[in-house]
Amino acid sequence: TMGWTDGSSFVPIASSLLSSKNDQNVIGTTKKIDKRTIAAKRRIMAQSKGTDVVIQLLDQALKAGLTAKYVMFDTWFSNPHQIVQISQRGLNVIAMVKKSSKI
């Protein structure tokens, strides 16, 4: 869930449910769905990587006219690629950096 906060209140702005990438683990899929529908788009997003979904939700919020100076999240999303992508959108990142042998 992405939201806005003033430090006391939290207002949800956007969210996405995530599911397995493996089609065999997803219940209720059908080949006949029209990919232009919102349902199809949400199913595609649900099977995307969480780090990619963060960027999609952020882009949707910015496109809708919402502004921010900072993006704050936990270590789950704090990898160098994610931080660079958010910085390229003109936003500062506040996050605890994930321990990694790659850095």
Note whether 61 and 74 are same-domain residues.
Answer: no
Note whether 31 and 54 are same-domain residues.
Answer: yes
Q: What is the extent of the structural domain holding 36? A: 1-66
pLDDT digits (tens, 9 = 90+) for 2-41: 888 888 999 998 888 776 677 666 666 667 777 788 777 7
Structure-block tokens of residue 50: 């969480």
* Phi, psi values for residue 33, rounded to 5°: -70, 140
Note whether 46 and 11 are same-domain residues.
Answer: yes
d(CA 80, CA 2): 20
Note whether 79 and 54 are same-domain residues.
Answer: no
Note whether 78 and 54 are same-domain residues.
Answer: no
* Phi, psi values for residue 102, rounded to 5°: -80, -15
Note whether 8 and 54 are same-domain residues.
Answer: yes
Residues 6+ apart with CB under 8 A from 92: 69, 70, 71
pLDDT digits (tens, 9 = 90+) for 51-91: 888 899 899 999 999 888 899 888 877 888 888 999 999 99
Note whether 72 and 26 are same-domain residues.
Answer: no
Number of domains composing the chain? 2
Q: What is the pLDDT of residue 65?
A: 93
